[in-house]
Amino acid sequence: MPSTEPAVCRVIHTFLKEKGVLDRVDEIQYATKFTVWHECQQAVLVVYDTGTIVVQGRPSGLHRWLQQLKIAVTSNRLVPPLPLAEEE
């Protein structure tokens, strides 16, 4: 099965950059790692070469938003607006 990772990474990179939450992008072994910040919240989205997407980080509004982004990207749906800051 061919890898979908480059196309998925382009979509995610463009979207996160447009939303102003992308802090950095790192190429790691077998994956691309997107570090994301929104207000005081940080989370990581990892896209593996196989196209698998994993959300990492402390539970927060941003983490939940990235989970929704993951679902949206894998099912070609729209993503909700960014969450308000939450104290956790």
Range 62-83 average pLDDT: 82
Q: What are phi and psi of 80, to 5 degrees?
A: -70, 165
| Tokens 């607006």 belong to residue | 81
Residue type, 4: T
Is position 81 within any domain?
no
8, containing H or E segment = helix 5-19
Residue 60 lies in a domain: yes
What value does the mean pLDDT take over residues 17-34?
A: 94
18-33 mean pLDDT: 94
Neighbours of 2 (CB within 10 A): 6
Q: What is the tally of structural domains in the chain?
A: 1
CATH number at residue 18: 3.30.310
Mean pLDDT estimate for the chain: 85
pTM of the shown model: 0.83
Residue 83 has pLDDT above 80, yes or no: no
**Residue 83 domain-assigned (yes or no):** no
State the average pLDDT over residues 35-53: 93
* Containing structural domain, residue 41: 5-75
Neighbours of 50 (CB within 10 A): 14
